[in-house]
Structure formats: C-alpha cells, structure tokens
A and B are shown apart, each in its own frame.
Chain A
C-alpha cells in the first residue's frame, strides 16, 4: 500500500521550474534512493517532502494525511543532512535529545529513547563528548541518532555520507541498512553516488532535469534501462555507446553493424525501428568476452567482430 504519495509536485525558483511535475508512490518500509547528476533536483525534491521548501504545485500525502500545507515540524519526518548540523557546544547526548527537551517530552521517555538510539548506533562511549572531539563517521551517527529519537514516520537522508572517506562510507552504508532493517521505517535517501544507490535501494528513482527518468529496482534499472540516460548514468566504467544505422529488419530481426565489420541480430518485440533508422547500440564493459582466437562452435550464437587493437596508453 502507498505510504508516501507525491502527486504532480512542481517547484519554481523565480521563473525557473526546477521540479517538473513529479508523481511517485512509496510503500511503507521501503528504502528509496533519489539519484541523478548535480542539479537534477533530487535534493530539492527531498526538501519539498521535508517541508523545508514550499511546493509550487502538487500534493504530498504521508500515511493518508495531506501534508502539502503542514509545517515541517508536524509532518512526522526527520532529516539527516550531509553537514550533520550538530550544535558544537552541546554534548552528543544533548544534541540527540535537544528536540525532545524543547518539546518537553517526559524525562523518562527521553532517557529511554537516548539509550535505545545510542545502543543502535554504538554511541554510548561518546555521549559526554562534544562534536569537535568526534570523527566524521561518529558525527553522522549522532545526526542519525537525533533523527531516530523523533520516531519519524519517514526518514530523509540528504547525501549523508558524502563527507566521509571511502572506507567509512562503506561502513556507514552497512550500518544505515542495518538500521533500516531493525527499525522497518520508510527511508528516502538522496545521493549522487551510484554505488550507494545500487547497494542500498529497494527502489531507485533516477532524476534528470527536474523530472523522473525511471523508477525501479537497482538491477532492473541496470539491465533494463528505459532510456539511454539511465543506461549511461548507472554503471562504472560507463556503458559503451555507439551510433549506428539499422542495416536491415528481416522477419522482425534487426541487423545492426558493429564497429569492425561484424553484425549483431536482435529480434525486436515490436516494429519500433526499421531499416535506415539511426540508433544507438550500447554494451556494458563487463559484457564483453576477450579472446585471442576465433570463438568455438559452441559459442556460435555469440556475435564476434574482428580484432581490435588495444589502445597504447
């Protein structure tokens, strides 16, 4: 069942429309990753869900409640920022409990929630320290702890691992996933890092120029991209693309020339393209087989093309 529903959401900055009518359904407990190049609108979309930006058009529903005009504080969402946004003069414990203390939550409940979050995030030894005396990973854990104690219906993460080094990023990725598993909460996670998107998401939303290019599971997007943008965005090194022209379409099978003189035959599902059409053929770097001799007969169904010269470099 849909838990978070984005309905035709648009956002203008001045006369520029940066979010161009987004429709998206998110299930309860899903881990959804917004990914896309710089300026694609992924962070803006997250901030619209958080209520940190006002929508220009559209509607946001969370758990059956229309949140479009509801204040950020009352949407039941908690956001974790790339910059951590901790109070430098407060201890870890005070940072985590700050919101609850402001809202005059019962002291026993505060203590209980702090204990639970600190245990989950392995922060007990550091509760009396100030942020300046923590590593980047520990600071981000404190920021996550502050979100956990709010017991939100939706967690929002805005590039939370971008400031960490590679080893720590991997460690925190695993930790956030563990957290997702144990809390069972709905999480929306923004990143420009396709490794994070591929490894963390139940569902990836690929954004480009303020609209959605494709929504799907990581492997679906990787293996069955809806378009060239998604194919080129996911995968490192990038998918090889070459422009070619359809040589013939015979009984629904398209014959396409490969560089070097060979051809590849692809049985089309529909009459989408015909002879003479300009098309792009794309092959992922790991989908080639490199051999020094001609293929064996058993591999006849493979398309081979003539020898290639390794670029001297």
Chain B
C-alpha cells in the first residue's frame, strides 16, 4: 500500500492471485494483511471483447 497523503493506493490480492489496484481518498486505515470487501457499480465496469474492442452496455443492471 502507498500513502500519498491525498489518497491511498491499496494493492489487493484476490482468489486466483489477481492483484487489484484500488485508490481511496485520504488516508486509509486498512492495514497490510487485513481482509476487506470491495464493491463496484456495474456501470463503472468496462468490457472488452477478445480483440480488445469495447463492448457497449447500457447504464445499470437491475437488482434482483
């Protein structure tokens, strides 16, 4: 994790050993080795096909 003052960069390791870079505002109180849960809005996702071209989708997936 990197404290930049105005923001904190967290490197999170998921199952399957994928590392995600997460940026949070200000100073994060998360500590190295902690478990955290992570949320993302579907509309903040971007999707690319095998050729790398953007697959367009509309605003929000309806909640179940």
Contacts and interface: CB of A to CB of B under 8 A. Distances in A.
A58 interface: no
Given A227-B53, A295-B39, A288 B22 contact: yes
A87 interface: no
Contact of A267 (B19, B53, B57): B57
Contacts of B54: 224-228, 231
A303 B21 contact: no
A260 B39 contact: no
B5 interface: no
B11 interface: yes
Contacts of B38: 288-291, 304-305, 308
A235 to B, nearest CB: 10
Interface string A273-305: 100011111111111111111110001111111
A247 interface: no
Contacts of B40: 258, 264, 283, 287-289, 302-303
B-side interface size class: 35 or more
Contacts of A267: 57-62
A277 B49 contact: yes
Interface in B36-55: 36-42, 44-50, 52-55
Given A264-B45, A281-B45, A312-B32, A227 B52 contact: yes
B60 to A, nearest CB: 6
Given A273-B49, A292-B37, A310-B30, A240 B21 contact: yes
A40 interface: no
Contacts of B59: 267
Interface in A209-236: 224-229, 231
Interface string A235-263: 00111111000000000011010111100
A73 interface: no
A8 B34 CA distance: 55
B1 interface: yes
Contacts of B28: 290
Contact of A311 (B13, B37, B41): B13
A310 B10 contact: yes
Nearest to A272: B55
A293 B48 CA distance: 31
A304 B41 CA distance: 9
A229 B51 CA distance: 11
Contacts of A225: 46, 54
B49 A279 contact: yes
A310 B48 contact: no
Contacts of B16: 259
Given A238-B21, A283-B44, A290-B28, A307 B61 contact: no
B19 A286 contact: no
A282 B47 contact: yes
A303 B42 CA distance: 7
A269 interface: yes
Contact of B48 (A228, A301, A311): A228
A292 B36 contact: yes
A289 B23 CA distance: 9
Contacts of A270: 56
A16 interface: no
Contacts of B14: 259-260, 305, 308
Given A264-B40, A267-B62, A273-B49, 13 more contacts: A239-B46, A259-B14, A259-B18, A260-B14, A266-B57, A277-B49, A285-B20, A290-B22, A290-B30, A295-B39, A302-B42, A308-B38, A313-B11
